[in-house]
Chains A and B, each alone.
Chain A
């Protein structure tokens, strides 16, 4: 699809095709296949089977009533199934179509993420299966979020996508991405490269809900570049089982006063292995970040990472990482890291891992709640991340997504 791209990307990818990732279990890519027969393009996604729509809804993707969305992109397995836009100033399309349409797009291709980061990025370059292109034009603001769904329907399938998101100057873009699978038990592999370019004064909120199954391996590779006065706000929710997930999205604040906030909610059931973190590099004066993660294990293993690096005067960063062990043989390994390279920066972190405090349970029981009700209330509170800057309806949707999964945890 992107053969016209420079040969050097292909060369570098080939050289890195066996390069193990720095973190996470090594996935045998040869165990997965590409799809040979693809679903035809659907102009009206509300005609998809009810079960498919229901699964997409579980990941925040609404197909029955698009009035709450300013655009939609759906990819099933290896090919785009649908893309549409409902608002002026927003572009949503398959990334291949965008490359055909815009010559300049090649200037963004593999500029934030290095193609030879590891065998997964190399694999996406060498056998790419579409991905999305979402762009907000200068000065335009989305009223409703753009939704994108990456859907795995076939067994043992590898889905290698490359997404490009560009928020032009002074624009505002809200995106909800839902990733999900058709089957509850078939193995699958999702490799997703996402490159975000947030121009001067632009604001992007990116809410990603992962509803995989207990046999899926997932390796997102995300990097974001934020220019002066830009904002990147990421919300990540993973509450359903997944076999193996490793990701460490990285944001570079390249312009003064750029701001980044990460909120992550991670839940690992028995059999799930998660290694997830957020990395922010503060390279310009007065850039700032806040990274908040909440991890719960009911039997799985979680490594919750965070990294903030301050390389410019008057930058500020805080990292908060809290883990709750609700039983089983689960582990939580919290690794907050800070690096400062000059005076006049302000970086801090706090991390805590433990079980629910009996004192808190008893406090609620003394008000008449049963032990189970008290525990549920405390867990709900633990997962409640108050998100500044998120439009109220998005915050409400996020809250609903979290609440929908709470019952599985308890």
Chain B
């Protein structure tokens, strides 16, 4: 067990009294990136939100151990400070709060903050957005880049990303892939990597950019299948989620 930097055990999650996830088990070692597949409504986003600690997502059973600490009862911000970060799909506009302020909040250091912010903005091609209200009038690709810029500043050890490729055009996808790549230390030998990622993907494009070690197929609030992500993706592409579900049902005795 000590090997795993993230260990999710028998996790159950309810939203507004409705049970969404049941019996989720997932283990991740330092430096690994895992990928979640699954049809709409299967519970992928709920799992990410529950790991991040949003109060609306109530843990009804099981626990989450992160770097040896049971974080099941910790608040959202406590988890963030322990090293969990998330890229928001549809982040809110916060009027009067500038993109620069958000990046500054993510950077913990004080020295050379200004310069660091400008460097990050250059890198994600968002220099013109630093003094704009965060997310106000941002396009899909701009939101993605802004979220990744904040995460690059925050440097979480576990990054949770929901569909990084959705709503992004072909020009942006390679930049976003590159940024993800850097966030999850793709070019670093596995033994030296310290960053983990848990990524939701529909299309699988993102597998070209990250070293995903394990893939999961979620259906109806449980993890139905676990294996090599490329293999899983190939199966889904060929046969669709229907086959995944049938396969899962065949393997489940009570199904």
Q: Which residues of A contact B (CB under 8 A)?
A: 322, 357, 359-360, 362-371, 374, 377-378, 380-384
Contact = CB atoms under 8 A, between A and B. Distances in A.
Nearest to A371: B77
B97 A366 contact: no
A363 B91 contact: yes
Given A377-B97, A382-B95, A362 B80 contact: no
B106 A368 contact: yes
Contacts of A366: 52, 76-77, 80, 85-86, 88
Given A362-B54, A362-B76, A368 B105 contact: yes
A367 B92 contact: no
B96 A363 contact: no
B94 A367 contact: no
Given A381-B97, A384-B96, A369 B91 contact: no
A371 to B, nearest CB: 7
Interface string B131-172: 001000000000000000010001000000000000000000
Given A366-B52, A367-B105, A368-B154, A360 B94 contact: yes
Contact of B97 (A322, A359, A368, A378): A378
Contacts of B55: 362
A322 B93 CA distance: 15
Contacts of A384: 96
Of B54, B77, B92, B150, chain A has the most CB atoms within 10 Å of the CB of B77
B95 A381 contact: yes
30 contacts: A322-B95, A359-B92, A360-B94, A363-B88, A363-B91, A363-B94, A364-B94, A364-B97, A365-B80, A366-B52, A366-B76, A366-B77, A367-B80, A367-B106, A367-B154, A368-B108, A369-B77, A369-B105, A371-B77, A374-B77, A377-B101, A377-B105, A380-B96, A380-B97, A381-B96, A381-B97, A381-B101, A381-B133, A382-B96, A383-B96
B81 interface: yes
Contact of B102 (A362, A367, A382, A383): A367
Q: Which 8 pairs between the two chains have the least Cβ-Cβ distance?
A: A381-B96, A381-B97, A365-B77, A368-B80, A384-B96, A365-B76, A359-B92, A368-B81
A138 B74 CA distance: 66
Interface string B42-55: 00000000001011
Interface of B: 52, 54-55, 75-77, 80-81, 85-86, 88, 91-92, 94-98, 101-102, 105-106, 108, 133, 150, 154
Contacts of B105: 364, 367-369, 377
A387 to B, nearest CB: 13
Contacts of B102: 364, 367
B94 A378 contact: yes
Given A367-B102, A367-B105, A377-B101, 13 more contacts: A363-B94, A365-B80, A367-B85, A367-B150, A368-B80, A371-B77, A374-B77, A378-B94, A378-B96, A381-B94, A381-B133, A382-B95, A384-B96
B154 to A, nearest CB: 6
B54 to A, nearest CB: 6
B204 to A, nearest CB: 26
Contacts of B106: 367-368
Given A362-B54, A363-B88, A368 B77 contact: yes
A90 B133 CA distance: 39
A390 to B, nearest CB: 16
B94 to A, nearest CB: 5
Contacts of B86: 366
Q: Taking each of A357, A362, A377, A382, which has the highest tally of chain B beta carbons within 10 Å of its own beta carbon?
A: A362
A36 to B, nearest CB: 48
Contacts of A364: 94, 97, 102, 105
Contacts of B52: 366
A267 B255 CA distance: 61
A359 B101 CA distance: 17
Contacts of B75: 365, 371
B92 A360 contact: yes
Nearest to A380: B96
Nearest to B87: A366
A382 B96 CA distance: 5
Contacts of A369: 77, 105
Most buried by A among B80, B96, B106: B96
A374 B150 CA distance: 15
Nearest to A359: B92
A4 B27 CA distance: 91
Contacts of B95: 322, 381-382
B197 to A, nearest CB: 16
Contacts of A380: 96-97
Nearest to B98: A381
A355 to B, nearest CB: 14
A366 B150 CA distance: 11
Most chain A CB neighbours (cut-off 10 Å) among B76, B85, B154: B76
A370 B77 contact: yes
A369 B85 CA distance: 12
A395 to B, nearest CB: 13
A369 B55 CA distance: 15
A371 B154 CA distance: 18
Contacts of B54: 362
Contacts of B80: 365-368
Contacts of B81: 368
